[in-house]
Structure 1
Amino acid sequence: MTAISIAEPSPKILEPEPVDDIRLFPRSPEVPEGCIVVDDIPGDDFPYPVHIHKVNYVTREIASADGEERESIDLPMWIFEPQLPDGTPETVREQQRWPGIVFVRGSAFHEQNVLDYISYFVRLAERGFVVAAPKYRHSDIAAFPAQMQDCKTAVRFVRKNADTYHVDGDRIALFGDSSGGHTVLMAGFTADHEPDTPVYGECSSAVSCIVDWYGPTDFSMMNRYPSVQNHTDADSPEGFEIGHVDVLDNPELNAKASVLAYISEDAPIPPTLIMHGGRDMIVPFNQSVRLYAKLKECGKDVTFMKINNANHACLGFRSNRALDMVIDYIRQHM
């Protein structure tokens, strides 16, 4: 058997050596015979452990099932907070401020299963973002504009509690997929203007940028392009969103819930990234084309990426590359 050499220990007990930058801690010189030295990993791809908080960010009143009374519901939010590595001085931890992302999970406007996207939230937090994933009033209990109002309130809650969750309140983005894409577009385009609520009104709901993944933008045009769903009758997701009525029979309600109606040359719209799959079988790709065309026409800062072979929320969107595109965009626009 080969004897493995071991470095001599210090003749005295060593005191701890705290460092402000963990990358500068001295590297051990020991390389025993047979030890494989891996020298081509420069650092971590997902450098931060993640702590998960669950809080109720707002209490809303809604109509009871019989419609005769009001009842209160608490809306939860899951917050995914990056943690600095063990050994980081407490003073550094307290001073750390991360950029924030409020992520609205899609649900066809019905009740969300927020945590089925936990892999996205954790991946974003591991890369250095505080991710807040709120649950909104869904369309079975509250029609438009409830969802966008809850989204604005979620942004304000994060900003109001920035110190608690170590968020940089000046760097917050909105990110949503499918119906969540519609919600973040509406909330981001209108910001501190109506439709709104006064909760946490001392804080702004304006954001640095918006990321929209395959969100519907003009309900009245959805059935004019291929889809596996009906998008205009009262029982469709879009019909429920405007009050459980037929979309085409209610043009005024539909117009109020149309993202395109809130875009103008004078409207202060944040930089927007649109990503949509070329084979989307639920929300027609044309919905994002219409959004892109309107934003370009009004001179807004917009980037459009067509994931050519992707479908709705899959076959390309569940990839590190797609998420890297989002991370790069958000970092450039904060």
Structure 2
Amino acid sequence: MFHKSKKILSWLVIFLSIISLFLSSWIIIPAPNMSLLPLGVGAPEVSPWLLILNLFSFLLAFFFIYQRQLKRLACIFSLIGLLICSSVLIKIAPTETQMAQAMKLELGENYLAQIPPQVSAKMQSQPFSLVNSFRGISLEKIRHKREIIFATPAGVPLEMQVYQPPKVGKYPALVVIYGGAWRSGNPSANPEFNQYMAARGYTVFAIDYRHAPEYQFPAQLDDVRTALNFIRQHATEYEADTENMVLLGRSAGAHLAMLAAYQPDAPPIRAVVSYYGPVNLTEGYNTPPRPDPINTRAVLKAFIGGSPQELPQQYQIASPISYVNRSLPPTLLVHGSRDHLVEARFARQMYENLHRLGKTAILLEIPWAEHAFDAVFNGVSNQLALYYTERFLAWVLFNR
């Protein structure tokens, strides 16, 4: 009976080692399809958890498996998992340094001194906290209003949610646009970020737009512009300072944020923040990523209504990079180097074009991060992105 129990325990430990390695492997393996993409997105972000899991499985194998070959096999699996997880953690410090340098290069060595102390005091004190990886980033109570209808184009009700600081006042407006390949999603996405920013002194508007393929471009841009007009008209009601407005989007929402901010007749926009947003739709169609889990060409055809060969003008009009030659607000680009939906080369291309023409632009690139990395709010990548995003916003909106 004792021998049988040891055998069962050995196989359970081996199974744990295999699971630990399987989960960790998605830190380096690109997801081939959308079903597996959550593993590719999440694994790097929870690498501290996976490190502990691999270490735990290694210790169990070392001390509780008595058959030599099985012990060796389980220990090897766990050690490989430990090495993969460590590959993320050892890059955190140099990535912090790189991001800090990118901010100072564009905003000035003393840009932090330009942010009022009362604003700085509310921000994260460090770019990455191992404690926050396990405990989570603390969220404070704010005021939250839902189901605010701001338009009904073609009979489609479009809603927004408003996150407000706890105290009545007048605050800078942060307009947040969700992603979803222009075909899915809603304003309830990323609520932790919206709540966090509202607690830091922003009135956050999470807005909606119509989806492809039923509604093709420029319907989505029209809806964003309609939302901005609504916000300006109801600024007093929602305690928003619309002369201090920033647009922030993720993926398809980042694309729309850049387009809306870059239009010649855009309302006053102080800055735009793009988290892994598409910028060059023609090139994105012609050279899709490999692997291509989302089927980029099908997504773009549904959004625009055809290929670049069929609708070249539409692709140009729909590409934010086409608008770089005019006066533009400061732009923060945040991107993962391992993004297999919108490759990081496009963010680099956008940054280079903006910088070449003397526009204020910052590129923060996270070496291990996949698309939608900030879905894990207390993840490694989002901690870094959040730290520098809130400093960029504070520099833009509270600069003394």
When the two structures are superposed, what TM-score results if normalisation uses the length of structure 1?
A: 0.71
> Hey, what's the Cα distance between the residues in 2 that align with 1:214 and 1:227?
17
CA contact (8 A) 2:235 2:242 kept: yes
CA contact (8 A) 1:274 1:305 kept: yes
- 1:252 is displaced (CA, Å) by 2.3
- 1:225 is displaced (CA, Å) by 4.4
> Hey, what's the Cα distance between the residues in 2 that align with 1:231 and 1:158?
35
Residue 211, structure 1, aligned to residue 284, structure 2 = no
> Hey, what's the Cα distance between the residues in 2 that align with 1:129 and 1:250?
40
> Hey, what's the Cα distance between the residues in 2 that align with 1:326 and 1:317?
16
Deviations 1:6-46 (A, max 9, x none): xxxxxxxxxxxxxxxxxxxxxxxxxxxxxxxxxxxxxx975
Residue 158, structure 1, aligned to residue 231, structure 2 = yes
Q: Which runs of 5+ in 1 are unaligned?
A: 1-43, 62-71, 85-92, 194-204
Match of 1:201? none
- After superposition, the Cα gap between the structure-2 partners of 1:224 and 1:77, relative to the gap in structure 1 and judged at 3 Å, is closer
> Hey, what's the Cα distance between the residues in 1 that align with 2:237 and 2:388?
29
Match among 148, 151, 156 for residue 55 of structure 1: 148
- 1:132 is displaced (CA, Å) by 0.6
Q: How does 1:60-71 map to 2 (within 5 A)?
A: 60-61=153-154
Residue 299, structure 1, aligned to residue 358, structure 2 = yes
- 1:113 is displaced (CA, Å) by 3.0
Residue 261, structure 1, aligned to residue 322, structure 2 = yes
Same amino acid, percent of matched pairs: 26
> Hey, what's the Cα distance between the residues in 2 that align with 1:261 and 1:156?
24
> Hey, what's the Cα distance between the residues in 2 that align with 1:188 and 1:148?
10
> Hey, what's the Cα distance between the residues in 2 that align with 1:50 and 1:317?
23
> Hey, what's the Cα distance between the residues in 2 that align with 1:232 and 1:118?
27
Q: How does 1:131-146 map to 2 (within 5 A)?
A: 131-146=204-219
- 1:154 is displaced (CA, Å) by 1.4
Match of 1:186? 259
Matched position secondary structure for 1:164: coil
**Letter aligned with residue 57 of structure 1:** F
- 1:172 is displaced (CA, Å) by 0.8
- 1:105 is displaced (CA, Å) by 0.1
More strand by share: 1
**Letter aligned with residue 119 of structure 1:** E
CA contact (8 A) 2:144 2:161 kept: no
Matched position secondary structure for 2:236: helix
When the two structures are superposed, what TM-score results if normalisation uses the length of structure 2?
A: 0.60
Q: Which runs of 5+ in 2 are unaligned?
A: 1-136
Match of 1:331? 394
> Hey, what's the Cα distance between the residues in 2 that align with 1:317 and 1:292?
26
Deviations 1:203-225 (A, max 9, x none): xx331100000011112222254
* Higher RCO, 1 vs 2 (CA within 8 Å, ≥6 residues apart): 2
Residue 82, structure 1, aligned to residue 82, structure 2 = no
**Letter aligned with residue 323 of structure 1:** L
Q: How many pairs align? A: 256
> Hey, what's the Cα distance between the residues in 1 that align with 2:296 and 2:179?
18
Deviations 1:64-95 (A, max 9, x none): xxxxxxxx2221111111112xxxxxxxx3xx
More helix by share: 2
**Letter aligned with residue 156 of structure 2:** I
Matched position secondary structure for 2:159: strand
Matched position secondary structure for 2:359: coil
What is the CA RMSD across the aligned residues, in angstroms?
2.3
Q: How does 1:1-334 map to 2 (within 5 A)?
A: 49-61=142-154, 72-84=155-167, 93=168, 96-190=169-263, 192=265, 205-222=267-284, 223-229=287-293, 233=297, 236-243=298-305, 245-264=306-325, 267-314=326-373, 318=377, 319-334=382-397
